Structure 1
Amino acid sequence: MKNKRDAEEIIVVDSEEEQEELDEINEPAYKKLKGGSNVPAKRKADKAAAVAELVGNPVPKGEALQRWGHRYPNKNTKKANDRRKASEDVRDEETEGPVESAAHYLQAVVDNLSYKLGDCVTVNSDGESDYLGRIVEFFKAVDGSLWFSAQWFFRAEDTAIGKDEAKKHDKKRIFYSEVKDDNLLECITGKIKVVQVSPLKNFNKLTKSIPACDYYFDMGYNYSYSTYYDLTTDAGSTCSDDASTICNDTHTTTAHSDQKSDSEASCDRNSVSKYDLSLLDLYAGCGGMSTGLCMGASLAGVNLVTRWAVDLNQNACKSLSHNHPETQVRNEAAEDFLTLLKEWQKLCQKYGGSEDSLDFKAEERSKCSGANDDSKNEEESSEDESETVEPGEYEVEKVIGIRWVGSNEDSKKGLEFKVHWRGYDEDEDSWEPIDGLENCHERIQEFVIEGRKKKILPLPGDVDVICGGPPCQGASGFNRFRNAIAPLDDPRNHQMVIYMDIVDFLKPRFLLMENVVDILKFCGGVLGRYALSRLVSMHYQAKLGLMVAGCYGLAQFRMRVFLWGACPNEKLPPFPLPTHNVVVRGNIPADWERNVVAYDETQHPNLQKALVLGDAISDLPVVENSERRDEMDYQKAPRTDFQRYIRSSKEVLSGRAPLTSKMKKLTLYDHRPLELNIDDYQRTCKIPKKKGANFRDLEGVVIRPDNTVELDQETERVYLSSGKPLVPDYAITFVKGRSLKPFGRLWWDEIVSTVVGRAEPHNQIILHPEQDRVLTIRENARLQGFPDHYKLFGPVKERYVQVGNAVAVPVARAQGYALGLAIQQQCRSGDLVMELPPKFPQSVMSLQSLSPNNNIELPIDVEEQCR
């Protein structure tokens, strides 16, 4: 990867007009050209500089050469530098190399205050706040000037969190970094006490305690991928052998008490069941993200199972339930789910977790009845349960479900139980508010104890991984009414807050959030910064990357943001590097250029050829615009490796069956298009079957010299049988006549831009290359990497939405594989990226399927995969 530790350069905004101009193009008020913090490079002192001098004897030359050899270049190095300077217009001080030293020292005095190597100091910044650093060198330059080298600490505002979010953080909390640079000695303004504490100490907010100090740190920060990482060793000793004034307080937190908090326990569950993990999928949709994560983790030898999933879309929940019968799918709003979790925790605490606690007073053991007769005694209540219920009497036989009603304005908010009534069929089961079941404590307790045993709902400590993509429509570039003043107050962005609130409550070991790139563009990236800020404030490790789906074996570009979080004592999963040769393009905000998951331009990896549309869908049967079948047979054999793979069974794709196993006859699901209306169908039929064809090829359209379009004024306008024009006005005016998208036809050798949830051809290129229709649901699903066995439910339009809103399965699969390696401690601490095995995932699938119990020898040394 590139050297991503360069100092930052800042563009100053001099007026409100300039600020507004920047906001309009989705840039922040300050522009970090190199993604760094406000750290100076070779800082110059003011004219009113402090009195500074180096004291004591110089470090012996031999020792100085051994410790700081880069300061003492040999003759060959000097000649090379002289030639370079003579041939280049060197203007950036950073390109001049290190300041050459005449001698090194161990101590210095600035303004009558003594300093030694390892001291933590403040450094003049000419800004609101002094810089914070640790002295790692004192030296006299060959020209006689006096210098020190500092290893910097970052305040929250110096990191990707940004200034606004930093206001919510403890001002004394700073972040360790490995960034160093040289500064004139007189820039030192004072000495500070910096304490290193264990992140686990603060992971549990109830025990948060910071020793007396000026500043403390419990995490490191790296510009690359905006990474906040765990310091597994004493930072004061990892960067230098010199003495340090950093006080280490980690010993106060490593010895846990016998009674661990839920949050501490959530980070320690790998000692109980090392490779069997549970996953909660929030905003799950039809399950693309969790499907891919579980597939990838399985290929790495980890059994990750989606135990719970939540989504507001009823049809998406049906799709997920059908394809993942092991998952408890809840069709409800995420905020209701969070409230329910809190209420469930109270019920578990109230009723206990053991059947031995079923002890009620006699008067509380009366029948749970809706009848008016309250005179039944204890003897009657203990009669055989099979006794016939009298007409008009409703007796609770069993509680079978629980929910929180809150988001529906038509309903009264509160906790409700689903009740099965004695003597009535299942279709008579009903939801009853808890207030109406006040005489049914025994039934409720039975339900709670059994539910806790079966983990029908997760409690803190139950969830290993949370994944999900909270919708942020308020930040979408398609939204003309975005709230740029207070984005988080926009209810359309509030799900980001809910997602983090659920993480804060359940304290999973790992989390992975996905979202659109607009969260980094809109209003200076406020939503992306908020997500990072929340994780870091909860003392999670965090890193953010932009990944392109096509780089992982899809015929679709699709760039998305992924945010990893991990408990303090876990390994933060590395981002998997691309496997396919797709050029990363798009409008990436300058602040986030270091977050693109890609090889450095100086590297030359052996990548597979990019997939194109023909590789993905050329084997599928021909269907008409009016196709109504949801199931059909394949009529052709697979033509490409991708097609053979995507047709495989669930067992094969998860590595539980050999890749070469005989393929049973499979049914093809959802290979039907959105049926176009008569007008649009007639237009589609007239679009030529050639590469690049669109509405511009229709009769009556003139292309101007500037490549915009207009109607031909010299010919009579052509109309359809309905009386409407062949070329609709909206196609002419779309994007001021510059767009090529209306009624655009895809071609076999192209990579699709992005699969969306709409199937209308009015403003997107979605027509099949050779058939007069839009791409089918299944064709879109293949572009998203869904296996052919994955069946969808709901109206046709709903199924398109489910596919378009999903996370591309191969991207999630690659992330799941990296997660599996991290869980098994098979990646080094600090690895930001990793190389996937060659020909992934087929190579791993073939190898794993031959090994019993998924205990596999990985195809290449995992230490070589991770960097």
Structure 2
Amino acid sequence: MARKRKCTSSGKKGTTASAEENRQVKKRILSKTGSDGDFVGDENVEEVMERGDCESVVAAAGAAEDSGKLKIQVPKDEVDGDARFLGEPVPEEVAKERWPHRYQRKEPVYNAIDKFQQSCMNKQFWLCLRVVIEGDRQTFLGVIREIRHSLEAYAINALVVKGDYGYLHELTFELWFSFVTNEIVQAKCHYLQAEVDGLTYCLEDDAFVKAEEGKDCYICKIIEIFEAVDGSQNFTAQWYYRAADTVITTCSDLIDKKRVFFSEIKDDNPLDCLVKKLRILLLPPKAELDVDKVKSTCDFYFDKKYLLPYSSFVSLPSDTTTNSGESGSTISSDGDALTMGSSVLEDHNSEKTLLDLYSGCGAMSTGLCLGANSCGVKLVTKWAVDINQNACESLKLNHPETQVRNESAEDFLPLLKEWEKLCAKLLLSDNNGSSSENGKLNDEKDDDDDGEEADADAEDSEVFEVDEILAMCHGDPHKKGTRKLLFKVRWKGYGPDEDTWEPLEGLSSCQEKLKEFVSSGYKSKVLPLPGSVDVICGGPPCQGISGFNRFRNTTAPLEDPKNKQLLVFMDIVDYLKPKFVLMENVVDILKFCNGFLGRYALGRLVGMGYQARMGMMAAGAYGLPQFRMRMFMWGALSTEVKLPQYPLPTHNVVVRGVIPNEFESNTVAYEEGHKAELKPALFLGDAISDLPPVENNEERDEMPYTSEPQTEFQRFISLRKDEMPGSLTFNSAVLGHSLYDHRPLCLNQDDYERVCKIPKKKGANFRHLPGVRVRSDNKVEWDPDVERQKVSSGKFLVPDYAMTFVNGTSSKPFGRLWWDETVPTVVTRAEPHNQAILHPDQDRVLTIRENARLQGFPDYYKLLGSIKDRGLSGDGPLLNLPEDYPMLKEVPSPTIVMM
């Protein structure tokens, strides 16, 4: 976890790597010969493959180099135009100062083959090279064209020792080819202009570059025009990416076709590959633009840079310009339109607001706020939304400052839109000096409701007077099949038991009461308005993609109702336009259906104008005793200076699961070669060994601690709320120091008897029960020599489902955890039937508090609901607390006064 391979800078990466690498090979390599675009020198290759000796490899390569044919060529019929330099060369002293890397030669042109041979003279390497040569000709040629990484010779040697010849076949020639091609081409002189097919190109011009047959032309900025020492005419391209060229790929329809992304990728190309000059405009980040107008005045436009690390889309520096001085200044740059809600909060000490979607009991927002507040940024969870009632009650108990809404996100979005309309009609009309009549609501009435109300009036002549409007929602509390805006009304002379939900049109006769409700809600920020939210965080439910779900929709993932929440999450972001977005999800979002949902989420953010990046982090790498790899996607408005970075790992971690190969470089880790002092991995004992023993039928929700913390993690996680670094104080009394929720799911009698029979040793599980034996293929079967035992109810001690789980290969049913182990991902169910969740030396499953500690919840965080409900963390967000977190304790925690 502490190392990762460096991203290459020689071509476009991502899912279009194959096409990009073909472009790199064809366009980057300079040569004056070749006729059909194939690898020149094939005759020598065939001879070497037949002879299979190492000396022939060098001889063949050297012959090709001497003949000028060691390059893949652009076919002559593809590049048949005239190309020439214009004007006088750039003065030598000026050229050397501006492009010093082109004027470093002190000897004749390099002999790459000699360098390669000298650096790799060891038997293991040549053995590996011979393995490749003995392959077939087509594979030999194909490998060269599909370069993916440049590796050191010792890496090849390691593969030889390991015996991984399949991977070796590919990587050996990557190394060889990189030696031949990665030398910097030396220049005889530079020019400021050139002509190709009658078109004049200048430095900093944007242009189309010839691509493979059937492919769209590549797009670049010309940053060098020079003649090489061998007389070839060249230009250096700095590339633009279309959305389809980036990691977004299959979701590129979310991005305007004329929008491109600048990059830092540069390489050399033959001058006659230029096809057409382009006009590409840079859009200023704060401009309100007419996109249709932009399209009509340019070939392409851009406002972001695409960087390979973490698939990042970032705003360009303010001094970035485009070709020929044609920048975004040619387009009107009005200031941001005013939106309802708060303006951008520039004061570092002012309160920053956070909306937690799919909040559960508040893990993700709690962690973000603790981290931000400990660094001096007063971040407050102002709003939270979740469909689970017990989770909402838990969040409200621990965060009295938060407006918690127990409703679905699908209902929350239309509620926000209706709330904005109410504020505009009832509040802004007065601020603008409009008459009271203009402030009234003129919404059309629902015919059915009118009829129902008329019938009610006819049956009951009693007139009801609204005493107070208490709340509002968008939904269908009466189960009538129609979801709409409703208000909870307290009637004059009646108590809370007679409160009713009324539609907006039913309140036409009490406009003042409605205005009082809206005015009070607006002042207290009962709901967020567009532009008023600083941060939105959330983990849209992932049941449709999770590896725990065996019935996933693999053909159209967005049509799966279980994946719909990803669309809803992005729709809410699009409506509220927060300054920052942080979305979390399982890594399967990058595995399932070729990563479609991850690409979609990133594409939505970029399409909405956000800077964005995508990384994978493991909880164990930050000081928790479980691996739990998750994908985290950051978004930041272009008006924000920087896109947040990912924190680097602090701890070693025991790796579990598989990282998607295509997104390997998205794993948050130190760069290759960086020596980091990582702390030891945390294990189960480090987290829970100080907790008092409890029985299977423990019923206390609160109990005293019986021992002192034994580890730094335990000391930190057991701090009181007022002691926790970054914890905000809301004029509340200091709480006692009791241990909450240290009780397990009470097993039924059958399961309890089974658990009591599981040995208290490392690796123990149902396979250790009488009558079970394990075959050589790791599958379980009944032992015919042992009678099948039963529990007191008459049911079998070893249930059939344990024997058949994962076709009899799993050891998880009724499995004990152990003190020196990390734990798998904590899931929603605490039953031991198909997971290892038993306490190491007590006959029970882990308690609510033990599971909470494994996920990073502080001990002061109380949970409500049934035992099962309190364990509902699912695949939702984590609160990751690094061991170094207490070091931030010197930063004073801000105080917020409750209004």
Give the structure-2-normalised TM-score.
0.80
Q: Which residue of 2 aligns with 1:157?
A: 244
CA distance in 2: counterparts of 1:35 and 1:810, whole angstroms? 38
Letter of the aligned partner of 1:566 in structure 2? A
Q: Which residue of 2 aligns with 1:214?
A: 299
Asked whether the 8 Å contact 2:248–2:599 carries over to 1, the reply is: yes
Q: Name which of 284, 297, 306 aligns with 1:198.
A: 284
CA distance in 2: counterparts of 1:735 and 1:35, whole angstroms? 41
The alignment partner of 2:612 has SS state of: strand
Question: 5 Å matches for 1:166-565?
Answer: 166-201=252-287, 209-210=294-295, 212-236=297-321, 244-245=323-324, 247-250=326-329, 252=331, 256=335, 260-262=337-339, 269-271=344-346, 275-353=350-428, 392-406=462-476, 410-565=480-635
Letter of the aligned partner of 2:671 in structure 1? D
Asked whether the 8 Å contact 1:35–1:223 carries over to 2, the reply is: no
Asked whether the 8 Å contact 2:95–2:190 carries over to 1, the reply is: no
- Per-residue CA deviations over 1:657-712 (Å, capped at 9, x if unaligned) read 99xxxx98511111111111222212211111111111222222222222222221
CA distance in 2: counterparts of 1:313 and 1:575, whole angstroms? 30
Q: Determine if the alignment matches structure 1 residue 672 to structure 2 residue 743.
A: yes
Letter of the aligned partner of 1:53 in structure 2? R
CA distance in 2: counterparts of 1:187 and 1:38, whole angstroms? 12
Letter of the aligned partner of 1:300 in structure 2? C
Asked whether the 8 Å contact 1:496–1:531 carries over to 2, the reply is: yes
CA distance in 1: counterparts of 2:329 and 2:488, whole angstroms? 49
CA distance in 1: counterparts of 2:19 and 2:718, whole angstroms? 45
1:742 Cα shift?
Answer: 1.4
Q: Determine if the alignment matches structure 1 residue 139 to structure 2 residue 226.
A: yes
1:227 Cα shift?
Answer: 0.6
Q: Which residue of 2 aligns with 1:122?
A: 208
Asked whether the 8 Å contact 2:207–2:275 carries over to 1, the reply is: yes
Asked whether the 8 Å contact 1:8–1:37 carries over to 2, the reply is: no
1:434 Cα shift?
Answer: 2.0
Asked whether the 8 Å contact 2:262–2:306 carries over to 1, the reply is: yes
Q: Determine if the alignment matches structure 1 residue 70 to structure 2 residue 97.
A: no
CA distance in 1: counterparts of 2:789 and 2:455, whole angstroms? 76
Letter of the aligned partner of 1:130 in structure 2? C
CA distance in 2: counterparts of 1:372 and 1:442, whole angstroms? 26
Q: Which residue of 1 aligns with 2:447?
A: none
Largest Rg, 1 or 2? 2
Asked whether the 8 Å contact 1:36–1:159 carries over to 2, the reply is: no
Letter of the aligned partner of 1:784 in structure 2? Q
Asked whether the 8 Å contact 1:39–1:152 carries over to 2, the reply is: no
Q: Determine if the alignment matches structure 1 residue 104 to structure 2 residue 189.
A: yes
1:98 Cα shift?
Answer: 3.1
CA distance in 1: counterparts of 2:314 and 2:88, whole angstroms? 39
Q: Which residue of 1 aligns with 2:699?
A: 628
Q: Determine if the alignment matches structure 1 residue 87 to structure 2 residue 154.
A: no
1:792 Cα shift?
Answer: 0.6
- Per-residue CA deviations over 1:13-53 (Å, capped at 9, x if unaligned) read xxxxxxxxxxxxxxx9x674899997666154222123333
1:233 Cα shift?
Answer: 2.3
1:646 Cα shift?
Answer: 1.0
**Number of residue pairs matched?**
773
CA distance in 2: counterparts of 1:32 and 1:743, whole angstroms? 45
Question: 5 Å matches for 1:752-831?
Answer: 752-801=823-872, 803-810=873-880
1:547 Cα shift?
Answer: 0.8
- Per-residue CA deviations over 1:69-121 (Å, capped at 9, x if unaligned) read 33344459959984344334673344442342241321322223222221211
The alignment partner of 2:318 has SS state of: coil
**What residue ranges of structure 1 are gaps of 5+ in the alignment?**
11-27, 238-243, 375-389, 815-838, 855-867
CA distance in 2: counterparts of 1:148 and 1:713, whole angstroms? 78
Give the structure-1-normalised TM-score.
0.83
The alignment partner of 1:270 has SS state of: coil
Letter of the aligned partner of 2:183 in structure 1? P
Q: Which residue of 1 aligns with 2:164?
A: none
The alignment partner of 1:710 has SS state of: strand
CA distance in 2: counterparts of 1:737 and 1:745, whole angstroms? 18
Letter of the aligned partner of 1:116 in structure 2? C
1:2 Cα shift?
Answer: 5.4
Asked whether the 8 Å contact 2:261–2:305 carries over to 1, the reply is: yes
Q: Which residue of 2 aligns with 1:824?
A: none
**Distance 1:665-1:404 versus aligned 2 partners, 3 A rule:** closer
Letter of the aligned partner of 1:848 in structure 2? V
1:435 Cα shift?
Answer: 2.7
The alignment partner of 2:515 has SS state of: helix
Letter of the aligned partner of 2:224 in structure 1? E
CA distance in 1: counterparts of 2:376 and 2:90, whole angstroms? 53
- Per-residue CA deviations over 1:548-580 (Å, capped at 9, x if unaligned) read 111111111101111111111212111111111
Letter of the aligned partner of 1:514 in structure 2? E
- Per-residue CA deviations over 1:280-326 (Å, capped at 9, x if unaligned) read 11111100011001100101101111111111001100000000001
1:234 Cα shift?
Answer: 3.5
**Distance 1:37-1:435 versus aligned 2 partners, 3 A rule:** farther
The alignment partner of 2:361 has SS state of: coil
Q: Which has the higher contact order (CA 8 A, sep 6+)?
A: 1
Q: Which residue of 1 aligns with 2:150?
A: none
1:449 Cα shift?
Answer: 1.4
**Distance 1:273-1:86 versus aligned 2 partners, 3 A rule:** closer
Asked whether the 8 Å contact 1:9–1:38 carries over to 2, the reply is: no
CA distance in 2: counterparts of 1:779 and 1:36, whole angstroms? 50
Asked whether the 8 Å contact 1:287–1:806 carries over to 2, the reply is: no
Aligned residues with identical type, % of pairs: 51
CA distance in 1: counterparts of 2:430 and 2:276, whole angstroms? 64
Asked whether the 8 Å contact 2:728–2:894 carries over to 1, the reply is: no
1:649 Cα shift?
Answer: 1.8
Asked whether the 8 Å contact 1:52–1:185 carries over to 2, the reply is: yes
**What residue ranges of structure 2 are gaps of 5+ in the alignment?**
30-72, 121-128, 130-171, 442-452
1:208 Cα shift?
Answer: 7.6
**Distance 1:562-1:250 versus aligned 2 partners, 3 A rule:** farther
Q: Name which of 844, 847, 860 aligns with 2:888.
A: 844
1:206 Cα shift?
Answer: 8.9
1:611 Cα shift?
Answer: 1.2
Measured on the aligned residues, the alpha-carbon RMSD in Å equals 3.3
CA distance in 1: counterparts of 2:609 and 2:684, whole angstroms? 43
- Per-residue CA deviations over 1:405-463 (Å, capped at 9, x if unaligned) read 15985443211111111122233322222232221212111111121111111111211
Letter of the aligned partner of 1:143 in structure 2? D
- Per-residue CA deviations over 1:806-836 (Å, capped at 9, x if unaligned) read 422126xx8xxxxxxxxxxxxxxxxxxxxxx
CA distance in 2: counterparts of 1:721 and 1:350, whole angstroms? 69
Q: Name which of 32, 52, 74 aligns with 2:83.
A: 52
Letter of the aligned partner of 1:104 in structure 2? C
CA distance in 1: counterparts of 2:20 and 2:689, whole angstroms? 43
Task: Give the stretch that moved more between structures: 762-771 or 580-589.
Answer: 580-589
Letter of the aligned partner of 1:651 in structure 2? D
